[in-house]
Amino acid sequence: MENKMDVAVLGLGGMGGTHVGAAKASPYIRNIYGYEPDPARAALRGRELGINATSDLNSIMNNPEIKLVYIASINEAHAEQTETSMRAGKAVLCEKPMGIDLSDARRMLAVEKATGGFLQIGFELHYSQMYMTVKEWIDEGLIGTPVNTQCRYYCSEFHLKDTWRSKSKGTLIGEKLSHYLDLQRWWINSPVDEVFSMNAPNAVSYFNHPDNHQINLRFKNGAVSSLNFVMYIGETDHADPLLEMLEKQADDGHYLQYHIFGTKGAIETDVFRRRIRRWEFSDSPKQLVSKIVEKISFPKAEDQVWFHNTHGQNLRVAELVAKGLPPETAASDSYETMVAGFAAEKSERERRIVKLSEFQQ
Ligand SMILES: NC(=O)c1ccc[n+]([C@@H]2O[C@H](COP(=O)([O-])OP(=O)(O)OC[C@H]3O[C@@H](n4cnc5c(N)ncnc54)[C@H](O)[C@@H]3O)[C@@H](O)[C@H]2O)c1
């Protein structure tokens, strides 16, 4: 292929490894470079991932063959590394969240505007078959107008003591829930007007932030959404090789479900049951009649495509950059999701309804 380019991955932890794997599979990518601030870790991860890794960020920024940078470093580094990369003329796919606070998110959006470069945020659920199917069904009018989305997300504690995640200054709204607020915004397709969020006292004593959130959104078109998150009831995973993880977690306290209610029907997504269903409402002389009319389930082998399709997202982003096309999800749209999350944090702190207009620049 003629328009092959070199790429770099900043941050070579779990997610960095996923980005390297996708880059290796892309027909648009030639060489893959990696960056870790600590030289010994750079060398170790470079060997493990089979790429050329360095602790000298300038060598990446000054390399004109590197056209695309994937940022998979800790959240605190996202804004600065996005700015450095874009000012060096690179296209950027940066992992969510857009930094840890409003000023980080604004900085990322500002540098995109100032450079006119390519910036996409890693909200890969837009590429996941489960959530794309919801979007398609809504766009086809199969549930009428979506007016209410409910997300129930209960999981186990897996961030561990003394890690950047448990010690982060940012909350889990950015680190985890931004994905799930983003979907609610995508499906309702109307600006968020106001947010009311609450959190209960922690069960996870060593988190530097709440371990639970109850976030309510009201959209400009009148629709509402709620997101209920608790990070401790699901049974702790001991990586038992005899148990299939999702099968076990389907009934051990883990839940990751959406219910999307429309004026003519409803949709349910259920990660732990590997299932998506659709209801149709009709009128009868006696009552509104509800009927399940569609049900899709899928095998374990297809998990990646149906859930967190980072691989599919990255293949597509490499293609977009190689062909000089714009991002498929605008950074300004991802920013709106971040602002809804910051409004939820503010609502919890100040114990009041927060209008999104309070965040206008
Ligand atoms: N989109 C998703 O579904 C998804 C899933 C997991 C993680 N993530 C995101 O990916 C990022 C990394 O998460 P992870 O699970 O790989 O964490 P991780 O702890 O496994 O890896 C983080 C890596 O970043 C390195 N690092 C620390 N400071 C750095 C810096 N200044 N510059 C570059 N690297 C630095 C660490 O040494 C480590 O190797 C986070 O932003 C996280 O939110 C996204």
Count of residues making up the chain: 361
Q: Give the CATH superfamily of 128-302+339-355.
A: Dihydrodipicolinate Reductase; domain 2 (3.30.360.10)
pTM (2 d.p.): 0.96
Instruction: Give pLDDT, residue 169.
Output: 86
Instruction: Give pLDDT, residue 13.
Output: 98
Q: How many CA within 13 A on the CB side of residue 357?
A: 4
List the single range of 167-176, 210-219, 277-286, 339-348 with lowest mean pLDDT.
167-176
Residues 240 and 219 sit within 8 Å (Cβ to Cβ): no
> What's the gap in Å between 16 CA and the centre of ligand 1?
7
Under the banding of pLDDT at 50, 70 and 90, the label for residue 82 is very high
**Partners of 354 in beta bridges:** 195
| Average predicted confidence (pLDDT) for the chain | 97
Sheet holding 146-155, edge to edge: 288-297, 275-283, 265-270, 255-262, 146-155, 224-231, 212-219, 192-198, 354-355
**Partners of 155 in beta bridges:** 231
User: Domain spans of the chain?
Assistant: 5-124+310-329, 128-302+339-355
* pLDDT tens sequence across 110-130: 999 999 999 999 999 999 999
* pLDDT tens sequence across 147-181: 999 999 999 999 999 999 999 988 999 999 999 99
Q: Average pLDDT in the 225-247 region? A: 93
Pick the CATH number of 5-124+310-329 from 3.40.50.2300, 3.20.20.140, 3.40.50.720, 1.10.274.10: 3.40.50.720
Look up residue 315 and give its two tokens: 């293949």
CA–CA separation, 248 and 83 (whole Å):
42
Amino acid occupying residue 31: N
Q: Average pLDDT in the 235-242 region? A: 89
End-to-end, the C-alpha distance of the chain in Å comes to 44
Q: Average pLDDT in the 17-30 region? A: 98
Q: Can you spell out the DSSP letters for 150-211?
A: EEEEEE---S-TTSHHHH-SS-HIIIIIHHHHHHHHHHH-S-EEEEEEE-PPPS-TT-SS-S
pLDDT at 348 > cutoff 80: yes
Cβ of 170 closer than 6 Å to ligand 1, yes or no, is no
Cβ of 98 closer than 6 Å to ligand 1, yes or no, is no
Q: Average pLDDT in the 232-257 region? A: 92
Look up residue 262 and give its two tokens: 């429309």
pLDDT at 2 > cutoff 90: no
H or E element in which residue 305 lies: helix 303-306
H or E element in which residue 213 lies: strand 212-219
Under the banding of pLDDT at 50, 70 and 90, the label for residue 239 is confident
* pLDDT tens sequence across 202-212: 999 999 999 99
> What's the gap in Å between 13 CA and the centre of ligand 1?
6
Residues 86 and 69 sit within 8 Å (Cβ to Cβ): no
> What's the gap in Å between 45 CA and the centre of ligand 1?
13
Instruction: Give pLDDT, residue 1.
Output: 65
The SS3 of residue 5 is: strand
Instruction: Give pLDDT, residue 240.
Output: 86
Please name the residues in contact with 304: beta carbons below 8 A apart, sequence gap of 6 or more. Answer: 310, 311, 312
Cβ of 104 closer than 6 Å to ligand 1, yes or no, is no
Residues 8 and 34 sit within 8 Å (Cβ to Cβ): yes
Cβ of 14 closer than 6 Å to ligand 1, yes or no, is yes
> What's the gap in Å between 34 CA and the centre of ligand 1?
13
pLDDT at 33 > cutoff 70: yes
Instruction: Give pLDDT, residue 157.
Output: 97
> What's the gap in Å between 205 CA and the centre of ligand 1?
23
* pLDDT tens sequence across 267-277: 999 999 999 99
Look up residue 245 and give its two tokens: 């993880």
Instruction: Give pLDDT, residue 338.
Output: 98
* Of residues 96, 123, 91, the one with CA closest to residue 321: 91
Please name the residues in contact with 133: beta carbons below 8 A apart, sequence gap of 6 or more. Answer: 276, 296
Q: Average pLDDT in the 119-148 region? A: 98
Nearest residue (CA) to ligand 1, atom 33: 11
CA–CA separation, 205 and 15 (whole Å):
26
Query: Ligand 1, from 9, 51, 59, 95: best to mutate by most atoms within 8 Å of Cβ?
Result: 95
> What's the gap in Å between 316 CA and the centre of ligand 1?
21
Under the banding of pLDDT at 50, 70 and 90, the label for residue 360 is confident
